[in-house]
Chain A
Amino acid sequence: MSLALPLGLVWVGAAVTALLDGRRRSVAWLAVGVLGAGFVSLCVLLALVLVDGPRTIVAGDWPAGVGIALRADALGAVFAVLSMGVLLAGLAYEVVDEVESRKTPALVLFMGAGLTGVFLTADIFNFYVFFELTMVAAYAVSTYGGERHQIGAGFIFAIVNLLGTFLFLIGLAAIYTVTGTLDMDGVGVALARTDPTAVALIGVSVLVAFSIKLGLFPFHFWLPPVYVGATPGVAAMLSGAVANVGSYGLLRFGGDLLPDLFAAGAGVLAVLGSASIVYGAIQAISRRSASEVLAYSAIGQVGYVLIALAVGGPVGYAAAILYAIVNALNKTLLFLTVRVRGWLVGTCFAIGALSVAGVPPSAGFFGKVELFRAGIEARSAVLVALIFLGGALSFVYMFQIYQRDFWRDQHEPSAGRALRVPGVLLALVVLVLGLWPEPLLAVSREAAAALTGGRG
């Protein structure tokens, strides 16, 4: 199977649906179908990559070093599958709930094409192009619903993230000027031989750019209004799929291209991550409405990924990848269930809440186990204590929502039954991964092995 198939499929689907009226049910379901086909082809690709190793194609059959390459390794493929699955669930939720705007399904497809490209490219400039495609679609999708506070939040979202993007572009120019190549492998080799001062400047610009996307602590201020204002499906897509660009970018640029720098700056990463965890958890506990709690929880949860990155090495990177996967699944599940009522959805929400807190039998338990393992590997009692504290705090705020919204308020008019399906399916995924975690653990170790820093 060609590597370009998932990318081309979603891209062509996006261009076609952009011409049609997305409010019509047939068009909206066509968009869901295209995402589904993209998801299936990416799953096949992931399986092939895990069996045969990374695959590469060079666009236009140019000789190596001249043409622009697409490459799927375990890390990229697993993030691509995850993001496409999240987009599929989010869009299906919105379509069942009635699409109000003609362009939304097409925009989600463009987001899917952009994300697939980001995860499957081997060229840093193409990374920027796909990343920008994803973000532009995300800015437009975040205003879905058309309420005025949403548009205000969307504007600030766009401005802040654009500043991050330009910073990344400047970092990219710096990478090119010191290495003379745009191919990721070549960049990694050349950067290892470059003057550490230049590398440090590049590293800082890349770290800040991806931290803004992730909503890490000092760069988070755009995030709560956007997540609170967005409809559940859109909030799920932003937190479960678009935020993956940040985690993947940190893993790819930090773990793969700049491993020495990230090892040297581990202290900074650990402090940023800890600040995120504590700030997110305390803010979440003080909030009363469910969507606000989830927004601040998103800030807290990405802190764990950063802490695992700070530990580094095979164990740290595997923990970071596993936690990023589990966190994306959790956030999607919680956003998709939080506004639906009934005992079934209540149970699904509880599974998501347990997963965030890291209680078995949910996938989140293994996320936390790997983090503890990374903390012990780093021989840091502070990290272990912090992970435990963060878990305890998240248990408190998640069950505060559960108590307020699902125990008491059961007579709210319940939405259609079909609206429960995406949430229930995701809850099953989280539960199954919690009961049978070996594939997930194996995939995250394999993906960590694809990183230069993970090999050493």
Chain B
Amino acid sequence: MTLAFALAAGVLAGSGAYLALKNDLLRVVAGIVLIANAANLTLMASGRTRGESPILPVEGEISDPLVQAMTLTALVIGFAVIALLLSLVYRVYTGYDTLDLDELSKEEARHAREIDQQARDDDDAAEAEGR
């Protein structure tokens, strides 16, 4: 059983990493969803006992209810985070008209160059004034 959990979480995390390295922002978000679920599955698998569902009256061995509560919480948080990520993707799209990560890094580099150039121009202007 542990092996099945480990394999499933590994496949999820691996596929998630593959998607997260893609250029398309929506695929990156999909990759994060898969990695989040790999973490949730690991949390589920970390239960210390396995057996019947932990609802009264219990007979015999029951499943660890604590990890189920934790996974449920983590799922809800993950859901909220994904909603936030999708809204960020939407705002990136309305700002850039593209979902290509390369375009985003070009913009970042352009912005860095721009403020650097601005600072250098200010330096030059101040120096010229000093003379």
Cβ-defined contact, A155 with B116, below 8 A: no
Task: Kindly state whether residue B24 has any CB partner on chain A within 8 Å.
Answer: no
| Across-interface contacts of B70 in A (CB, < 8 A) | 125, 176
Shortest distance between the CB of B88 and any CB in chain A (Å): 5
**B32, B91, B107 — most chain A CB neighbours (10 Å):** B91
Cβ-defined contact, A288 with B123, below 8 A: yes
Shortest distance between the CB of A162 and any CB in chain B (Å): 6
Shortest distance between the CB of B126 and any CB in chain A (Å): 4
Task: Kindly state whether residue B7 has any CB partner on chain A within 8 Å.
Answer: no
Partner of B88, one of A129, A149, A158, A176: A158
**B25, B74, B92 — most chain A CB neighbours (10 Å):** B74
Cβ-defined contact, B123 with A404, below 8 A: yes
Cβ-defined contact, A152 with B108, below 8 A: yes
Shortest distance between the CB of A148 and any CB in chain B (Å): 4
Q: Is the interface of B mostly helix, strand, loop or mixed?
A: helix
Cβ-defined contact, A169 with B74, below 8 A: yes
Within 8 A of A (CB), among B66-97: 66-67, 70, 73-74, 77, 80-81, 84-85, 88-89, 91-92, 95-96
Q: How far is the CA of A125 from the CA of B96 in the complex (A)?
A: 38
The contact string, 1 if C-beta is below 8 Å from chain B, for chain A 136-174, is 100110010000110111111011001100110110111
Task: Kindly state whether residue A195 has any CB partner on chain B within 8 Å.
Answer: no
Task: Kindly state whether residue A225 has any CB partner on chain B within 8 Å.
Answer: yes
| Across-interface contacts of A159 in B (CB, < 8 A) | 20, 28, 32, 85
Task: Kindly state whether residue A311 has any CB partner on chain B within 8 Å.
Answer: no
Within 8 A of A (CB), among B1-46: 20, 25, 28, 32, 35-36, 38-40, 42-43, 45-46
Q: How far is the CA of A159 from the CA of B80 in the complex (A)?
A: 14
Q: Is the interface of A mostly helix, strand, loop or mixed?
A: helix
A-binding residues in B (CB < 8 A): 20, 25, 28, 32, 35-36, 38-40, 42-43, 45-48, 66-67, 70, 73-74, 77, 80-81, 84-85, 88-89, 91-92, 95-96, 104, 107-108, 111-112, 115-116, 118-120, 122-123, 126, 130
Subset of 10 A-B contacts with CB under 8 Å = A125-B73, A128-B74, A129-B73, A155-B92, A158-B81, A166-B35, A166-B36, A167-B39, A228-B115, A288-B116
Sample of 17 further A-B pairs with CB below 8 A, known A149-B111, A288-B120, A289-B118: A149-B108, A152-B92, A152-B96, A155-B85, A155-B104, A156-B104, A158-B85, A162-B32, A162-B36, A163-B35, A173-B45, A176-B67, A225-B112, A228-B112, A289-B115, A292-B115, A409-B126
